[in-house]
């Protein structure tokens, strides 16, 4: 039996570990071959793969996989139904069908099981490939594993690596926040990844609030620091795509804060104001870059800069600092909680792959059970539930 892996989309703190756990499971079987396609679907189209030699594996080898972020076989963003993009990127020739090329490559490589580790774009692309394979009577099982730091895949309750990314982003800001001592009127904007979901920004804020509380308690018990206002560690604004912001009211509120403590600390999801920024960019006659899946390339939007301009226009700021924790967070190795969850999901994926069950393995939020979810039920851009208790508690902590 031959098993193949590919990782696709952006980095997340689960890719190395997921492959390691799957390799661990498959290594216990007899007559197994294992390969990884380089750089996701790009490598599948080009027939570029690496061989995992079972003779090189021992328990200590598998342990090493759990200590790294990123992917050992690389990622890319390729949509197999976007033929023109595949042609433009020289992945296929004119007149060729990417789905057919990918399916033929799997057949030529004699792959029995393909594991696609990625987000909604990866697994909806896996759905298209799975449908093509079935319609052509081919016998290849495709089992997807949900990876995205945005935690925005429906109906998956928890994406692998998301909690680690949030925790890492909080640790990142726990250092950055000390920069607000560099002037008497300071604005720090912490821009966090997330296109249409504010989950990562909110969960990062949630983790950070715990860190801030520890710092504030230490300040309070230090008699010689009685002059220092512990509110300088607080988050003074959280902006996410799921909530509306009235800047007339918000500017007045932020003005009072900076007058009181001399700084403003803002957490913002990079997709929070995407409609407003897009309209402004287009009104200036500029084009907005989009990827193969039709998503706006958020690096070209620069949400933090746009927000700082809005705030600075009406509030006198001596120093503005815009920091993006995304690449730091998504490239982290998984924390203990995520690693335990990775093992749980990958073990279940392994079992379903051996039963020839294609789909995306994850905890189905509709049933609360770990399931092999039909590819056709997977979709992206699941928004944050702003009525959930943990989020309402977070808002209360920020407001108080």
Supply 3's token pair. 């098993």
- Enumerate residues 6+ apart whose C-beta is below 8 A from 340: none
Helix (H) or strand (E) holding 117: strand 113-118
* Residue 366 neighbours by CB distance under 10 Å: 11
pLDDT band at 293 (very low <50, low <70, confident <90, very high): confident
Q: How far apart are CA 176 and CA 323, in angstroms?
A: 8
Question: Taking the mean position of all CA atoms in its chain, how far away is CA 349?
Answer: 20
With both helix axes pointing from N to C terminus, report the angle between 199-220 and 162-176 in degrees, rounded to the nearest 10. 40
Q: How far apart are CA 367 and CA 373, in angstroms?
A: 11
Name the strands in the sheet holding 319-324, side by side, starting at the edge strand that comes first in the sequence.
237-239, 263-269, 186-192, 319-324
The pLDDT of 246-253, averaged and rounded, is 92
pLDDT for the residue numbered 60: 56
With 90 as the cut, is the pLDDT of residue 381 above it?
no
Strands 186-192 and 141-146: unpaired
Active site residue 120: no
Q: How far apart are CA 31 and CA 43, in angstroms?
A: 25
Mean pLDDT taken over the chain: 93
Q: Which of 150, 152, 206, 234 is catalytic?
A: 150
Span of 42-51, 98-107, 149-158, 285-294 with lowest mean pLDDT: 285-294
List, for residues 45-89, the tens digit of each pLDDT value.
999 999 987 665 555 578 889 999 999 999 999 999 999 999 999
pLDDT for the residue numbered 20: 94
The pLDDT of 97-106, averaged and rounded, is 97
Residue 362 and residue 156 in contact, taking contact as beta carbons nearer than 8 Å: yes
List, for residues 342-355, the tens digit of each pLDDT value.
999 999 999 999 99
């Amino acid at each position: 039996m031959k098993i193949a892996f590919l990782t696709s989309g952006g980095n997340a703190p689960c890719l190395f570990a997921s492959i390691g756990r799957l390799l661990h499971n498959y290594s216990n079987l007899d007559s197994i071959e294992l390969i990884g396609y380089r750089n996701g679907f790009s490598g599948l189209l080009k027939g570029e793969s690496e061989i995992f030699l079972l003779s090189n594996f021992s328990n200590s080898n598998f342990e090493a996989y759990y200590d790294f972020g990123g992917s050992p076989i690389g990622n890319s963003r390729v949509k197999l139904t976007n033929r023109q993009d595949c042609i433009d990127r020289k992945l296929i020739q004119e007149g060729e069908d990417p789905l057919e090329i990918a399916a033929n490559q799997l057949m030529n490589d004699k792959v029995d099981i393909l594991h696609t580790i990625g987000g909604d774009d990866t697994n909806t692309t896996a759905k298209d490939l799975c449908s093509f394979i079935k319609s052509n009577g081919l016998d290849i099982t495709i089992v997807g594993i949900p990876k995205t730091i945005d935690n925005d895949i429906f109906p998956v309750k928890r994406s692998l690596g998301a909690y680690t990314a949030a925790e890492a982003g909080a640790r990142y800001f726990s250092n950055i926040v000390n920069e607000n001592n560099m002037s008497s009127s300071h604005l720090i904007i912490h821009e966090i990844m997330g296109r249409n979901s504010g989950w990562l920004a909110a969960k990062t804020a949630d983790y950070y609030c715990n860190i801030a509380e520890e710092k504030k308690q230490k300040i309070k018990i230090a008699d010689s620091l009685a002059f220092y206002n512990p509110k300088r560690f607080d988050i003074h604004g959280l902006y996410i795509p799921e909530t509306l912001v009235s800047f007339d009211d918000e500017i007045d509120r932020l003005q009072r804060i900076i007058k009181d403590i001399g700084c403003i600390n803002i957490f913002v999801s990079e997709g929070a104001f995407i409609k407003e920024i897009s309209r402004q960019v287009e009104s200036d006659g500029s084009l907005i870059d989009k990827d193969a899946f039709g998503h706006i390339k958020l690096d070209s939007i620069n949400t933090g800069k746009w927000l700082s301009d809005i705030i600075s226009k009406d509030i006198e700021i001596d120093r503005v600092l815009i920091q993006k924790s995304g690449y730091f967070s998504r490239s982290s190795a998984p924390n203990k909680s995520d690693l335990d969850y990775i093992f749980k999901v990958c073990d279940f994926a392994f079992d379903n792959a051996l039963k020839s069950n294609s789909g995306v393995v994850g905890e189905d939020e509709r049933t609360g059970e770990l399931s092999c979810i039909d590819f056709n039920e997977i979709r992206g851009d699941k928004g944050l539930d702003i009525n959930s208790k943990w989020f309402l508690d977070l808002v209360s902590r920020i407001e108080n």
